[in-house]
Amino acid sequence: MWVEWLIAASVILFDQLSKHAVETHMHLWQSIVVIKHVVNLTYAKNTGMGFSVFQSDPKVVEYVVLSIIVALVIFSLTWKERKNWFFQLSMGLTIGGALSNAISRLAYGAVTDFIQLPYWPIFNVADSCVVAGAIGLGIYFLKRERKVGKS
């Protein structure tokens, strides 16, 4: 179980360091081409949730985010098969990303986003980890259902 908390701590550290680097070396809405037509670094602030949902009501965002984090932690601690490495990896990524964005939101009132792909909203390392972790959990539970269904 300590593996998922080590992963979560690593995600928080890397995400906070990357946000700090962007905040101290770029100005708001500055964009740097990394790979032309593929990826830019664009400094943006997001006071809402994913895709800027609820930007006009930060209290709703705080309550929803904190509720999700509490639910994830409780689920992680109580899941009977939590020793599975893939489950731990997926939970660590999800919890770490959610916690890191919550830290930013509570400390600064907004989340720093900076990774820009064509036709996609600007996001950050924590967002990527939440998505990767959620996909991992989906795969884990789909495989588990197939395994349980065959028994």
Judge whether 57 counts as a catalytic residue: no
DSSP state of 106: H
Q: What is the rounded distance in angstroms from the CA atom of residue 88 to the CA atom of residue 35? A: 33
115-147 exposure pattern, b = at least 16 Cβ within 10 A, e = fewer = bbeeeeebbbbbbebbebbeebbeebeeeeeee
Residues 95 and 4: beta-carbon distance below 8 Å: yes
Residue 6: other Cβ atoms inside 10 A: 12
Judge whether 113 counts as a catalytic residue: yes
Q: Which of 113, 114, 136, 140 is catalytic?
A: 113
pLDDT digits (tens, 9 = 90+) for 9-40: 999 999 999 999 999 999 999 999 999 999 99
Higher pLDDT, 107 or 64: 107
| pTM across the whole model | 0.88
Residues 16 and 107: beta-carbon distance below 8 Å: no
Paired tokens of 118 = 């064509």
pLDDT digits (tens, 9 = 90+) for 132-145: 999 999 999 999 88
Chain centre distance of CA 93: 7
Predicted local distance difference test score (pLDDT) of residue 52: 60
Q: Which of 8, 12, 127, 140 is catalytic?
A: 127
pLDDT digits (tens, 9 = 90+) for 45-96: 998 766 565 565 667 777 888 898 999 999 888 888 778 999 999 999 999 9
Predicted local distance difference test score (pLDDT) of residue 29: 98
